[in-house]
Amino acid sequence: MKVLVTGGAGFIGSHVCDALIRNGHDVHVLDDLSGGFKEQVPTEATLHVMDIRDDEVAEVWQEHRFEVLFHLAAQMDVRRSVADPRFDADVNVGGFLNLMEAGRANGLKKVIFSSTGGAIYGEPDFVPQTEAHALQPLSPYGITKLCTEKYLFFYENTHGIEYVALRYGNVYGPRQNPHGEAGVVAIFCERMLDGTQPVVNGDGKQTRDYVHVKDVVAANLAALRYQGCGLFNVGTSVETDVVTLFEILRDELAPQMPTQHGPGKPGEQRRSVLSFEHTRDELGWSPTVDVKLGLQETARWFREKRQHH
């Protein structure tokens, strides 16, 4: 199939591109390289360097008539969304609508959207959080992801474009960018390798559902095969607190380093953990990477990358 991957030069997107190419698809990448890297785009893919908000998006679509859109490009920094909600909405809603309008006019059949499970549900009323959990996003970032899901429903209902929205937990793994995005695993790894002390916010007992990028890629491929529309959590149902996360990475990279606490971040979510039962039943997807082993392997990847540079 002819597919367009927005954000395909980024952390998750580049892994998705690799998998699509292995599966024989004709892959095009649309990325402004603000957070991604050209060298992460597979050589077999065609790269279009542009912002998803650009008018040129329509021309690219007219020329290539992509059947499937994997939409991963986003303003994904939660703190930036809080500081500048207009910019966040401009990219995450305006950019998405720019893509959809171009696609609708030029043969788009299906969208696989990288949504968020971490930011869309808010503080849990029950755990693990299912897709039926109340939607109470605490940040503009979470709000724009929810807004996009609603637009997908509109495009399906009005224009017959199928969609699958994948609500990710906290994705980690090789290629995660430690600069400027909300990847605590990557940030901790880089600081430990630099010999600078990472700081744990507050008591460090806030939890997240850490899901390995390999499992996220598998969920994207399952979504491509899926006949139908829907919203699906992509998580492990395992809660890991920040202190535990720090200790796993430290034991691998900087065994002598103490745990240092700083002030808590105001408004930071306390818990987040996702049920994957619905995803397993509908998409046939379950997580395969054990959190501790996955974190250790990721830490080693950062160390090896450092040694090769």
Catalytic residue numbers, as ranges: 141
> Residue 289: in which H helix or E strand, if any?
none
| Selection from 132, 137, 44 nearest residue 89 by Cα | 137
CB atoms closer than 10 angstroms to residue 247:
15
Angle (deg, nearest 10), helices 291-308 and 184-194: 50
Q: What are phi and psi of 74, to 5 degrees?
A: -165, 155
133: its two tokens: 């959990």
Amino acid (one-letter) located at 83: A
Give the Å distances, CA to CA, from 46 to 6, 108, 220, 309: 12, 18, 20, 27
**3-class secondary-structure state, position 168:** strand
User: With contact defined as beta carbons under 8 Å apart, do 51 and 94 qualify?
Assistant: no
Helical axes 184-194 vs 242-253, angle rounded to 10°: 40
